[in-house]
């Protein structure tokens, strides 16, 4: 079904000639377009997950639409489209619109809202902390209990499982914004956001991706098992369990429970997480490495549990915090999650580049004035804490945007706002 194979390899090699060849091979060697070697990079990427950050001339790797003759939809032949995924996405988005109207018109119990928020956090942490920071980048180590919890939480996200996410994400880093990148932002906002889910993979993704080593993922039975059973597990947890808990737990209307906790929650979280590939690859500053597409995006930071410092992340992919700053200085719930897990003894070996390494690479590849400005703006601890509190308040407010229109409608039409 659509979800389970969303990121699976499906394009046949004989489709290769339908695409422009792109020079992604050169990215496999250890030098960037300036002839710099990866010595500094390797200092930051000592985690053996073969995801070095790269520096490429994005202009020379400009992407293309597939060249197709005959009948096409948005430039794609019918056989290039993943129809099961398209139908699934149309279905779930239609349901989400119907559900959103339903939830606006009818009462939603207080605990159902919190249940939906809890499941949204499950999906968010599962992808951000589990699939991304742990399995794609190995930026920290987790004991069996934390790994189990993260796999459980990731299953609520509709993101295709930790295995396929990690595999595709390594490709994304290695060949960022080229044909070898499964979510190539050069193919436009829609493709980078969700369109990549609807069409078969570019042959370069398969060709170059095959050169990456994913044996560490194959060695983890838990995520191999989750990969095999993803769609039934998703239905069981994210739809059936999500709906039945409010129904039996506090006597919620079955349709309300279904729409708020299963459908709308899932769709909203998916789009929040996808802004990392779309917004944070298109709009924003590139202070850490000006040669790559990923940017610093506050909006993505707020929507994606702290994954928006994306220019930093593509420059220092092994940093467990995905951000130069501490969790309390910016809205970064995922880093808080890992820090708490470390305190509890569930997570160890949290990787972080030293300030000297960061500064050195910014000086060579980024915008050194960024650091000079930062030093000029060095503030007291009290100021940093105050700014951090403002960031968190803004992050929570922005991440909860989907709740406001129904609340506003209920206030205007004198419907009860809080129902037990």
Phi, psi dihedrals of residue 109, rounded to the nearest 5°: -70, 150
The least CB distance from residue 137 to Zn ion, in Å, is 6
The least CB distance from residue 185 to Zn ion, in Å, is 8
Contacting Zn ion within 288-307 (CB under 5 A): 294
User: Which of 183/265 has CB closer to Zn ion?
Assistant: 183
- Chain centroid, CA 179 distance in Å: 19
The least CB distance from residue 405 to Zn ion, in Å, is 30
User: Which of 180/294 has CB closer to Zn ion?
Assistant: 294
Q: Give which of 223, 298, 271 is closest to 120, Cα–Cα.
A: 271
The least CB distance from residue 59 to Zn ion, in Å, is 18
Question: Any alpha helices (H) in 275-380, and if so which ranges?
Answer: 298-303, 310-315, 333-344, 355-365, 368-376
Contacting Zn ion within 235-294 (CB under 5 A): 294
212: alpha, beta or left, given left = phi > 0 and alpha = psi -120 to 50? beta
Phi, psi dihedrals of residue 419, rounded to the nearest 5°: -125, 130
* Residues contacting 378, CB < 8 A, separation 6+: none
Tokens representing 52 are 């070095």
Q: What residue has token string 């706002």?
A: 417
Q: Give which of 95, 85, 90, 87 is closest to 260, Cα–Cα.
A: 95
Phi, psi dihedrals of residue 122, rounded to the nearest 5°: -55, -55
The least CB distance from residue 126 to Zn ion, in Å, is 15
User: Which of 294/395 has CB closer to Zn ion?
Assistant: 294
Q: Give which of 276, 251, 255 is closest to 264, Cα–Cα.
A: 255
Residue number closest to Zn ion, CB atom: 294
Tokens representing 109 are 């119990």
The least CB distance from residue 63 to Zn ion, in Å, is 15
User: Which of 294/388 has CB closer to Zn ion?
Assistant: 294
The least CB distance from residue 307 to Zn ion, in Å, is 8
Tokens representing 62 are 């400009």
User: Which of 294/366 has CB closer to Zn ion?
Assistant: 294
Contacting Zn ion within 5-64 (CB under 5 A): none
User: Which of 243/311 has CB closer to Zn ion?
Assistant: 311
The least CB distance from residue 220 to Zn ion, in Å, is 18
User: Which of 259/312 has CB closer to Zn ion?
Assistant: 312
User: Which of 66/294 has CB closer to Zn ion?
Assistant: 294
User: Which of 246/317 has CB closer to Zn ion?
Assistant: 317
Q: Quote the crossing angle between the two packed helices 221-228 and 144-154, to the nearest 10°.
A: 20
CB 274 within 8 A of CB 282: no
The least CB distance from residue 254 to Zn ion, in Å, is 39
User: Which of 189/250 has CB closer to Zn ion?
Assistant: 189
Q: What residue has token string 């407010």?
A: 397
The least CB distance from residue 313 to Zn ion, in Å, is 6
- Chain centroid, CA 111 distance in Å: 28
Q: In whole angstroms, what is the distance from residue 175 CA to residue 58 CA? A: 11
User: Which of 2/123 has CB closer to Zn ion?
Assistant: 123
Question: Any alpha helices (H) in 219-332, and if so which ranges?
Answer: 221-228, 230-234, 242-249, 254-257, 265-274, 298-303, 310-315
CB 357 within 8 A of CB 43: yes
CB 25 within 8 A of CB 54: no
Tokens representing 159 are 């993101």
The least CB distance from residue 330 to Zn ion, in Å, is 17
68: alpha, beta or left, given left = phi > 0 and alpha = psi -120 to 50? beta
- How many residues in the shown chain lie near Zn ion by CB under 5 A? 1
> Site residues (CB under 5 A) for Zn ion?
294
């Amino acid at each position: 079904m659509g979800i389970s194979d969303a990121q699976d390899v499906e394009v046949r090699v004989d489709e290769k000639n339908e695409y422009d060849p792109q020079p992604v091979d050169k990215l496999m060697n250890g030098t960037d377009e300036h002839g710099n070697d990866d010595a500094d990079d390797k200092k930051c990427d000592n985690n053996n997950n073969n995801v070095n950050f790269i520096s490429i001339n994005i202009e020379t790797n400009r992407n293309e639409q597939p060249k197709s003759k005959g009948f096409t939809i948005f430039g794609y032949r019918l056989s290039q489209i993943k129809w099961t995924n398209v139908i699934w996405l149309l279905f779930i988005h239609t349901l989400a619109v119907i559900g959103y109207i339903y939830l606006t018109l009818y009462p939603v119990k207080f605990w159902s809202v919190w249940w939906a928020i809890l499941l949204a956090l499950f999906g968010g942490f599962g992808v951000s902390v589990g699939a991304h920071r742990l399995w794609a980048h190995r930026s920290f180590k987790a004991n069996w209990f934390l790994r189990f919890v993260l796999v459980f939480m990731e299953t609520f996200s509709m993101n295709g499982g930790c295995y396929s996410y990690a595999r595709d994400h390594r490709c994304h880093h290695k060949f960022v914004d080229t044909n070898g990148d499964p979510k190539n932002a050069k193919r436009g906002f829609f493709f980078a956001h969700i369109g990549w889910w609807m069409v078969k993979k570019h042959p370069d993704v398969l060709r170059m991706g095959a050169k990456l080593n994913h044996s560490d993922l194959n060695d983890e039975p838990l995520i191999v098992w989750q990969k095999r059973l993803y769609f039934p597990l998703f239905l069981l947890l994210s739809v059936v369990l999500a709906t039945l808990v409010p129904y039996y737990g506090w006597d919620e209307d079955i349709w309300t429970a279904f729409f708020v906790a299963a459908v709308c929650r899932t769709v909203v979280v998916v789009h929040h997480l996808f802004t990392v590939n779309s917004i944070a690859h298109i709009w924003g500053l590139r202070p850490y490495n000006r040669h790559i597409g990923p940017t610093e995006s506050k909006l993505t930071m707020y929507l994606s549990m702290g994954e928006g410092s994306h220019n930093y992340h593509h420059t220092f992919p092994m940093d467990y915090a995905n951000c130069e700053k501490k969790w309390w200085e910016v809205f970064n719930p995922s880093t808080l999650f890992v820090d708490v897990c470390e305190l509890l003894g569930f997570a160890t070996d949290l990787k972080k580049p030293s300030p000297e390494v960061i500064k050195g690479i910014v000086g060579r590849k980024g915008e050194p004035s960024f650091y000079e400005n930062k030093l000029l703006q060095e503030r007291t601890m009290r100021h940093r804490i105050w700014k951090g509190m403002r960031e968190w308040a803004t992050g929570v407010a922005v991440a909860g945007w989907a709740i406001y229109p129904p609340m506003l409608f209920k206030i205007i039409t004198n419907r009860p706002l809080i129902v037990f």
